[in-house]
Structure 1
Amino acid sequence: MSAPAPDRDPVTGRLTTGHEWNGIKELGTPVPRIVFIGLTLGALYLIVWTILMPAWPGINSYTRGLLGIDQRTSVEARVALARLERAEWTQRIETEPLATLASDPQVMNLVKGYGKTLFGDNCQACHGGKGVGNSGFPNISQAPLMWGDDLDTIHETIRVGINAAHPETRFSQMLAFGRDGMLGRSDILAVTDYLLALGSGASVDDMTHGAEVFAFNCASCHGDNARGSVDFGAPDLVDDHWIYGGYRQAVFNSIFTGRAGHMPSWEGRLSKADLRILALYVGWLRENQP
């Protein structure tokens, strides 16, 4: 008995597989040759890549490849090249006086670009993008700086920090006059109202009690006129810039519980050039804020 003739689709002329579902027959269409070519080329590419480049992880390392190329060495090479390209102007940044650098437009153009990145990476989280501060963090672009606002002083503050772990750190702490029982509530309220009146320019002639409390307890750090002291890192209490808020309850809380802010020291975290660039950038911010 002879085998049945193969079934051929009358429309396409192709042989069928013999499978049929509800009158629909499956064509025996072969896989296009281009697919096999692509798969073959892809497999060859993977084999060559595995041989030449880092590819397979191991227990303690990975296959290095004949070319010995990896992203780490590539990045290190680019960083080394960037340092070499920056060497000329970073040498100036590290050695020349900050005031001299600040008067050089070419240097400051570099500082404004690179300093903005440094500030964004290291300072913005606390002091804000333009240095105008956040609650509990001072405005360093507009307000008087507690330790002084010349470039060398700014650089030193960045270098050693405030109440930080650096052996040369600056120390600044306000006593907790209420919590530690040095002043009663009525005294704190009186000096709070006195300070708010001073800041607003209102008359304080009838606030003798508040003035006396201030003179005996606050003037030694903040000055007789409450304008602050760079010797103690004591802020100006008369201007409009309050670190913890200038409304009545906030000022009362500061006097009652005390304050001891913290700024990390950046020496050891940033290079010498980066520390000086940050100081120049903060100085530039202070000159270019509305």
Structure 2
Amino acid sequence: MAEKHIDELSGIETTGHEWDGIRELNNPLPRWWLWTFYACILWAIGYAIAYPSIPLLTNATKGLLGYSSRAEFAADLDGAKIAQGGILEKISTSSLEDIVADPQLSQFATAGGAAAFRVNCTPCHGTGATGGRGYPNLNDDDWLWGGDINALYQTIAHGIRDPADGETRISEMPAFTDMLKPDEVRQVAAYVVGLTGTPRDPSMVEPGKQLFADNCVACHGEKAEGKRDLGAPSLADAIWLKVHGEAEIARQIQAPKHGVMPAWQGRLGDVAVKQLTVYIHSLGGGE
């Protein structure tokens, strides 16, 4: 066994490590550090005895104090539900107008509706409710079925073209493939584009206008501003849901796309639908 080396200057034993003639002293740890370390060990042992901490095969030790963070969380959650119960009951029995007029109910419903929107509606309408191609923007004031709070409620509760809901909104544009010739379809598309922009062939606008009057005004109106009772969109506001450009307008005339929005009444319940309605109405696009 190698003989211990003692440093000549300090008289302290070295560890045996040496770098370029410099030896490492084997100084003891400070007393305060050692006592802190020992105290931590004692604290850990006491904690393991008092609280659930040691994992077993199927659960963990219960601890002498019988504390459970899960039980505490469940109790807090139950307390929150009890506190919310009175407000939810008020929302359930109040009209939408009364909810909006009551600052407390309105604030609570808006917060709850925002949470429900993030969970259920963002896949289609986006996190900011700005929509996307085929999915309407809920921040503007362009509404197929009306943007007042009761119209919003009807749409959310019963959906659009939901085959499982007997009160769903239904609006279907017919395919004009058999009613109009290809040239006539292009003429109508040119007229529609001309309402807000410049068509590729301006000479098609006038014949397209007559074709529009003969085939389209029943739903879209004489000024192409749409009819909300039919769910027919305005074609004169440059806001497009499913098409962009003259060629796509022509395809929509020939073979229209029909989207489906699910009915949320049966999925979420009336209280959640009311909260969603209040939240969407608060975005600024409601009437």
TM-score tier, shorter chain, comes to 0.7 to 0.9
Alpha-carbon displacement from aligned partner over 1:74-99 (angstroms, at most 9, x marks no partner)? 33333322233333332222111112
Q: C-alpha separation between the residues in 2 aligned to 1:221 and 1:237?
A: 11
The worse-fitting range, judged by mean Cα deviation, of 228-237 and 183-192 is 228-237
TM-score normalised by length of structure 2: 0.76
Conservation of the 8 A alpha-carbon contact between 1:162 and 1:262:
yes
Q: C-alpha separation between the residues in 2 aligned to 1:131 and 1:73?
A: 37
Superposition RMSD on alpha carbons, in Å?
Answer: 3.7
Query: Equivalent residue for 1:145?
Result: 143
Query: Equivalent residue for 1:192?
Result: 189
The worse-fitting range, judged by mean Cα deviation, of 278-287 and 167-176 is 167-176
- Which ranges of 4 or more aligned residues in structure 1 deviate by more than 6 Å? none
Deviation at residue 141 of structure 1 after TM alignment? 3.3
Q: C-alpha separation between the residues in 2 aligned to 1:85 and 1:25?
A: 69
Q: C-alpha separation between the residues in 2 aligned to 1:199 and 1:258?
A: 21
Q: C-alpha separation between the residues in 2 aligned to 1:214 and 1:269?
A: 40
Deviation at residue 69 of structure 1 after TM alignment? 4.1
Alpha-carbon displacement from aligned partner over 1:87-132 (angstroms, at most 9, x marks no partner)? 3332222111112222334433444444444444443453355544
Across the two proteins, how many residue pairs are aligned to each other? 283
- Aligned match of 2:91 in 79, 93, 107? 93
Amino acid at match of 2:191: Y
Q: C-alpha separation between the residues in 1 aligned to 2:118 and 2:227?
A: 29
- 1:20–1:129 CA distance, 2 compared to 1 (3 A): closer
Query: Equivalent residue for 1:170?
Result: 169
Q: Percent identity?
A: 32
Query: Equivalent residue for 2:101?
Result: 103
Counterpart secondary structure, 1:26 = strand
Conservation of the 8 A alpha-carbon contact between 1:7 and 1:16:
yes
Counterpart secondary structure, 1:145 = coil
Conservation of the 8 A alpha-carbon contact between 2:7 and 2:13:
yes
Q: C-alpha separation between the residues in 2 aligned to 1:71 and 1:253?
A: 60
Amino acid at match of 1:94: S
- 1:140–1:31 CA distance, 2 compared to 1 (3 A): closer
Please list, as runs of the form range in 1=range in 2, the aligned pairs for 1:119-268 lying within 5 A after superposition: 119-128=117-126, 131-164=129-162, 166-168=164-166, 169-178=168-177, 183-199=180-196, 207=205, 209-215=207-213, 217-268=215-266
Amino acid at match of 2:189: T
- Aligned match of 1:79 in 74, 77, 80? 77
Counterpart secondary structure, 1:46 = helix
In structure 1, the gaps of 5 or more residues are none
Amino acid at match of 2:169: R
Alpha-carbon displacement from aligned partner over 1:137-192 (angstroms, at most 9, x marks no partner)? 113333342223332221121123223464334344444545xx654432221111
The worse-fitting range, judged by mean Cα deviation, of 217-226 and 150-159 is 217-226
Counterpart secondary structure, 2:141 = coil
- 1:138–1:35 CA distance, 2 compared to 1 (3 A): same
Amino acid at match of 1:53: Y
Task: Please say if 1:24 is aligned against 2:25.
Answer: no
Query: Equivalent residue for 1:283?
Result: 281
Conservation of the 8 A alpha-carbon contact between 1:240 and 1:246:
no
Conservation of the 8 A alpha-carbon contact between 2:190 and 2:204:
no
TM-score normalised by length of structure 1: 0.76
Q: C-alpha separation between the residues in 2 aligned to 1:15 and 1:31?
A: 14
- Aligned match of 2:11 in 10, 13, 34? 13
